């Protein structure tokens, strides 16, 4: 397999990010939560996207809370994630919290219903479009 044909090529070369494998039924379940730490949002510098994956067999709901670096709540919202699907929240600090120049922040993802729920974030460099994977912390 030619790896270069599977990844987008930018002016400086190929981009992409590695995501580790996941064993079934080891995700979060109703009542559990994870934190996504080290998120950034600055106009023309960095942007953050969040994702929530439902590895379960029924629809799930997750409550996302966005914080600034001081721990102040900026916004809380709920996502519905269909069974076996991924929901990506693009630039939630901009689109959900009206904080386009937040600097640093973090988020919590609490599972309201469902099981085998996984989450992560990507912090993307706006100049190179290189993503950095942000794993969840339980």
CB atoms within 10 A of CB 7: 12
- Contact, 27 vs 119, CB < 8 A? no
Query: In this model, does residue 15 exceed pLDDT 90?
Result: no
Query: In this model, does residue 69 exceed pLDDT 70?
Result: yes
Between residues 19 and 119, which one has the greater pLDDT? Answer: 119
Lowest mean pLDDT among 5-9, 43-47, 69-73, 118-122: 5-9
DSSP string covering 44-95: TTEEEEEEEEE-SSS-EEEEEEEEETT--EEEEEEEEE-TT-EEEEESHHHH
Place of tokens 């994630």: 81
Give 26's pLDDT tier (boundaries 50, 70, 90).
confident
Q: What is the pTM of this model?
A: 0.84
CA 3 to chain centre: 25
Q: If we measure between CA atoms, which residue out of 68, 58, 66 comes closest to residue 104?
A: 68
Q: If you average pLDDT over residues 20-45, what whole number do you get?
A: 87
Q: Which domains does the chain have, with CATH numbers?
A: 29-134 (2.60.290.11)
Share of the chain above pLDDT 70, in %: 82
**How far apart, in whole angstroms, are the C-alpha atoms of residue 106 and residue 49?**
12
Place of tokens 């996504």: 36
Q: What pLDDT is stored for residue 20 in this prediction?
A: 59
Q: If you average pLDDT over residues 58-74, what whole number do you get?
A: 98
Q: What pLDDT is stored for residue 7 in this prediction?
A: 46
Q: If you average pLDDT over residues 51-79, what whole number do you get?
A: 97
Q: What pLDDT is stored for residue 16 in this prediction?
A: 60
């Amino acid at each position: 397999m030619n790896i270069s044909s599977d990844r987008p090529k930018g002016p400086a070369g190929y981009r992409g990010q590695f995501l580790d494998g996941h064993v079934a039924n080891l995700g979060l379940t109703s009542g559990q939560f994870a934190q996504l730490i080290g998120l950034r949002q600055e106009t023309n510098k960095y942007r953050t996207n969040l994702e929530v994956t439902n590895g379960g067999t029924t629809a799930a709901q997750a409550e996302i809370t966005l914080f600034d670096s001081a721990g102040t709540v900026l916004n809380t919202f709920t996502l519905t994630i269909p069974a076996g699907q991924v929901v990506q929240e693009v630039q939630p600090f901009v689109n959900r919290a009206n904080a386009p120049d937040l600097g640093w922040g973090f988020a919590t993802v609490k599972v309201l219903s469902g099981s085998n729920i996984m989450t992560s974030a990507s912090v993307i460099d706006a100049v190179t479009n290189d993503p950095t994977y942000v794993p969840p912390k339980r």
